[in-house]
Structure 1
Amino acid sequence: MDAEALPGRDLFVVAKCMVPTDAFLLQGCLVAGGVPAVVADAHHVQADLMIAPALGGVRILAPAAFLTQAREILAAYERGDYRLDDDADVGVALD
């Protein structure tokens, strides 16, 4: 997906999701990778999921200077580079 520019802003749409939770997951991956990404329209869609297609989904935005890095991170996510195995040790269990 080519990044869509927001008029009058230095932010570009780097991804869209129909489910807000998916958008926040992608935003978390981007932020962890050093991209200052933000989520837009999540509250509208969360209030009424049926409006998501009309709005074009929940948008994940990133500054122009981070577009290449954002694309690389999103491609790695799509490839499954961040996937955990079912038996992966994710830390100490809390009792």
Structure 2
Amino acid sequence: MKAYLCKFIPPRADFLTTMTADEAKWMKQHGAFLDDLLAKGVVVAHGPVMDPNGGYGVSLYQIADGESIEAITSQDPIVKNGAGHYEHYPMRHLAARG
């Protein structure tokens, strides 16, 4: 298994407070996408980070050795609609409760 910390970078620093109607719709789809991966055990945890310099999202993934983190996150509806991108950080180990 491989583990990653993934940082979702929105298209602008004030994105969370200035989303258009389309972006708000895509953000709901983004949340549902991550919740589905959480239910499947691919995502261990996810949520928004309220950084005063600009919010972003963080998710922790645990995937099979043969899987590509880039292929998975590229399917996120917010990314597919061009409203941000992910940075991927490999982790040596991921321990989680439960």
Query: TM-score scaled by structure 2?
Result: 0.36
Does 1 or 2 have the higher relative contact order (CA < 8 Å, sep 6+)?
2
Question: For the pair shown, which has the larger CA radius of gyration, 1 or 2?
Answer: 1
**Structure with greater strand percent:** 2
Query: TM-score scaled by structure 1?
Result: 0.36
